Chain A
Amino acid sequence: MTVKAENISKRYFRKTGGANHFYAMNDLNLTITSGEMTVLTGRSGSGKTTLLNILSGLLAPTEGRVWIDGTDLYSLDDKALSRLRNEKIGVIPQGRSAIDTLTVMENILLPAKLYGKPFPAEAASRWMERLGIAHLKDARPAELSGGELRRMAIVRALSNSPDILLADEPTDDLDDENTAMVLSAFRAAAHAGKAVLLVTHEKDALNYADQAYQMESGKIRPLSY
């Protein structure tokens, strides 16, 4: 499985002040492949989250294409793109991403439920155990700490066995012990053949990476570490 961003640009319009538009990224190229863990670092506002949203099919680029194994992501209609995201891509967004009306377990099984697929209950239990939130399976998101919610989102992405994992600051709100636990989980996923992209400020993440990039003003460059 290969995800390839080809000459991606994203232009936003500004309502007030200066030029009426700006580029969050310009002519960007990136390839992530199965079995590899890619780490992307950079300052806030450098365009990391925008890139992640573009790669996950949530935000159409102004120019360029995103290929997933030869399929042009943005040539698909909404239905097909949504289905592809559900089946092949596991996204861990920044901040809270739980549905408040569902329990932790229900949140984790939600991607399967959306399309009436068999529940990956066994995988969910295993990952919950590994990330230390097994005891919270019946709790509601409002009862969880920020760190527990992050881990819930990670378990949700991992349990549904996507080919591609895109994580945006997955170690935010986590202590050192849990950070190490989460990073090793992503490493294990890459070993298992998934293409993993980690957007993070966490320096330790580089120790787990196969390749790393720095993003600055909408452009990326390889990072030596």
Chain B
Amino acid sequence: MKNFSLSVKNLTRKPGRTAALALLTAFLALAVFGGSVVVLSLRKGLNSLEARLGADIILVPDQAQSKVSFQNLFLQGTTGAFYMDASVLEKALEVEGVEKAAPQTFLASLKADCCSIKIQVIGIDPEKDFTVQPWIERSLARALGDMDVAVGCKVEADVGEIIRIYERRCKVVARLEATGTGLDTAVYCSMNTMDQLLKAAEEKGVSHRMASGDDVISAVYIKVKDGYDIDNVNSRLNSRVRKATAVRTRSMITGVSDSLAGVSRTVTILIVAVWALAFVILLLAFAMIIRERSREFAVLRLLGASRGMLSRTVLQESALCGLLGGVTGVGLSALLLFPFAQLIESALQLPYLMPDMINIVWLGLGTVLLSVIVAALSSVIAAYRLSRVDPGNALREGN
């Protein structure tokens, strides 16, 4: 690194040339970092959705239009309310292969104090629940009490605050971690609380339960025993439990997976195309620059620089351009991605959850390193050709 300062001077004192090269690598870094963050966010969103659903099968009333209603509910945060008799739970538990079954009851609020939009209220049975309860336990050490609610991360209410749902005062006792799905806009409560809220809704003239009777639930989340085929259990549930439809959770999120695969593919193609194009442009740019600087390098040879020194100088300069471009690209990408994450989520209409900061930092560092390597690689041919140039001829041609 004896002549590192020479490389730095060459770059800083030719700012136009340096900026042009750095800009090219910045595009590379922007494409890689931006594309990767989007894809990772979608993957994390999907994983989170799968984890939150936590069940192999969901049993819903026939009128719930199964997948469509559920997908809207989970992915886009649209509210829904459909009911069936609570006895469905017992019937489901009798089916062979069912290990666990937990009920949930839905209620779409009109407009709570906390929110400018309708919110989805979900009643759970803390003792039986194996899907939401583990998430609640991360924020709340006890079970949800009477008129206690746990809110999704996008519900604008802090712990300790009182929110009003159908004129009933509910106390926020926990805020759940982000899932990147419509579940982030839901409010969770115990079945007792849900019962009171349903009654309040009826008092307001909003008849949710319809003809289903008083003891109703909206869905039963089912965990299949190890060693049982989920599809078979699903078929058995459909044939044994009347007025309810069993839906495999995987099939519910198949559409999401397909969309995610599509987006991933598009982003990957885009990244490869940008890299290929930028690599070729960088290759040509370095070749042109080296040709333009052949006299300068001939002078260095004249003063005693070896071929190796010249090659190292070129590689150092291109790597520094790559570093500058990489950092710029990652920075620009971060400026676009982080403040507009919400907008991206809305535009994609897919579960979108930013990776952890530590992963983002690693990804950023990896992208910068990749930019440095690509920039250095694209100058390798130029550096080799340069080291073979006859300095005597180069000096003569320059006159």
Query: Which A residues form the contact surface with B (CB < 8 A)?
Result: 49-50, 53, 56, 58-59, 78-79, 82-83, 85-87, 91, 93-102, 106, 110-111, 113-116, 140, 156
By Cβ-Cβ distance, the 9 closest A-B pairs, closest first, are A86-B304, A53-B392, A82-B306, A95-B399, A101-B13, A59-B392, A111-B303, A58-B392, A85-B304
Contact B299 A93 (CB under 8 A): yes
Q: Which residues of A contact B14 (CB under 8 A)?
A: 101
Give B306 Cβ to nearest chain A Cβ, in Å.
Answer: 4
Neighbour of B303 across the interface among A100, A114, A116, CB < 8 A: A114
Q: Which of B1-21 contact A (CB under 8 A)?
A: 2-3, 6, 9-10, 13-14
Q: Which residues of B contact A53 (CB under 8 A)?
A: 391-392, 395
Q: Which of B377-399 contact A (CB under 8 A)?
A: 390-393, 395-396, 398-399
Task: Tell me whether B23 is interfacial, beta carbon within 8 Å.
Answer: no
When C-beta atoms are compared, the residue in chain B nearest to A54 turns out to be B392
Task: Tell me whether B302 is interfacial, beta carbon within 8 Å.
Answer: yes
Task: Tell me whether B263 is interfacial, beta carbon within 8 Å.
Answer: no
Given A97-B395, A116-B2: A83 in contact with B304 (beta carbons within 8 A): yes
Q: 7 extra interchain contacts, Cβ-Cβ under 8 A, other than A58-B301, A96-B295?
A: A58-B392, A78-B306, A93-B302, A94-B399, A97-B302, A114-B2, A115-B304
Decide if the interface of chain B is mainly helix, strand, loop or mixed.
helix
A111 to B309, CA, bound (A): 13
A116 to B1, CA, bound (A): 10
Give A166 Cβ to nearest chain B Cβ, in Å.
Answer: 10
Given A58-B392, A114-B304: A99 in contact with B299 (beta carbons within 8 A): yes
Q: Which residues of B contact A50 (CB under 8 A)?
A: 392
Interface CB pairs A-B, < 8 A, 7: A82-B309, A99-B299, A113-B3, A115-B2, A115-B304, A116-B2, A140-B13
Contact A101 B9 (CB under 8 A): yes
Give A142 Cβ to nearest chain B Cβ, in Å.
Answer: 11
Give B27 Cβ to nearest chain A Cβ, in Å.
Answer: 25
Task: Tell me whether B134 is interfacial, beta carbon within 8 Å.
Answer: no
Q: Which residues of A contact B2 (CB under 8 A)?
A: 113-116
Give A101 Cβ to nearest chain B Cβ, in Å.
Answer: 4
Contact A58 B302 (CB under 8 A): yes
A105 to B272, CA, bound (A): 46
Contact B305 A114 (CB under 8 A): yes
A106 to B8, CA, bound (A): 13
Q: Which residues of B contact A101 (CB under 8 A)?
A: 9-10, 13-14
Task: Tell me whether B296 is interfacial, beta carbon within 8 Å.
Answer: yes
Give B14 Cβ to nearest chain A Cβ, in Å.
Answer: 6
Q: Using an 8 Å CB-CB cutoff, how does the interface string of B293-317 with A read, 1 for contact, 0 for none?
A: 0011001111111111100000000
Contact A59 B390 (CB under 8 A): yes
When C-beta atoms are compared, the residue in chain B nearest to A162 turns out to be B304
Contact A87 B304 (CB under 8 A): yes
Q: Which residues of A contact B393 (CB under 8 A)?
A: 59
Give B2 Cβ to nearest chain A Cβ, in Å.
Answer: 5
Contact B304 A49 (CB under 8 A): no
Give A90 Cβ to nearest chain B Cβ, in Å.
Answer: 9
Neighbour of B396 across the interface among A49, A56, A156, CB < 8 A: A49
Contact B302 A91 (CB under 8 A): yes
Give B383 Cβ to nearest chain A Cβ, in Å.
Answer: 14
Q: Which residues of B contact A100 (CB under 8 A)?
A: 13, 296
Q: Using an 8 Å CB-CB cutoff, how does the interface string of B12-52 with A read, 1 for contact, 0 for none?
A: 01100000000000000000000000000000000000000
Contact A110 B307 (CB under 8 A): no
Contact A82 B390 (CB under 8 A): no
Q: Which of B107-158 contact A (CB under 8 A)?
A: none
Contact A95 B301 (CB under 8 A): no
A95 to B393, CA, bound (A): 13
A100 to B295, CA, bound (A): 11
Give A95 Cβ to nearest chain B Cβ, in Å.
Answer: 4
Give A77 Cβ to nearest chain B Cβ, in Å.
Answer: 9
A88 to B331, CA, bound (A): 49
